[in-house]
Structure 1
């Protein structure tokens, strides 16, 4: 054997060992990449659900704000109607009686205003938007 052949024969086991090591590293990298991809897909799916929940909660918040605005304007209207009726009526003296009398006189019945509008239907003035309440699935 000459020197080149001897050098090659000593180097060959080292090269084979190196190839096996690289193959092992490759398998580990593929496994890690696969697990990372699966984790990423799971996180994206969860984010999609959370985005849908944000949209639903935003819609509900908007409806609640509209309810608050409607109730405040309704309360202001009742107060102004109460004051006008109380000034015109001299028989009632107590504030609670005045508001009941005023409300009953102006709307036709004391409880009519309670049933005249709801959070999920349009108001007579058209300020409410018709919304449909949908359940939210939580991930617990």
Structure 2
């Protein structure tokens, strides 16, 4: 599954809400605060900005973000007490568990998604190495 597959799926959802896409300035400002945004998740930010798909709230940037889905505010909040120091959260799935992407340029996998259970360390992370697009396609398919 590719990012193109994800974008086509998202565009075809009648009851989903999206931003208008994050500008290069939005992304640069965010990177100055939380680190690099690369790969499929960066493509998602550029095209959609953020997403609300039924009960799924995917964090993002740009016009229309709220306190609940603001990527920078959420990342800084979670890092303020030592959690996810090298990860970027993309969804809070409830009970404090976060789905995150590891945003390191040049990594083997494109934006792998990592589940960071509340009150856990790196040893407890659960990693989906197929990437952000695969992860979000599967999340969406489970609710439509």
TM bucket by the smaller chain? under 0.3
Q: Give me the TM-score of the superposition, normalised by structure 2.
A: 0.21
Higher relative contact order (CA 8 A, sep 6+): 2
Whichever of the two has the greater Rg, that structure is: 1
Q: Give me the TM-score of the superposition, normalised by structure 1.
A: 0.22
Higher helix share: 1
Higher strand share: 2
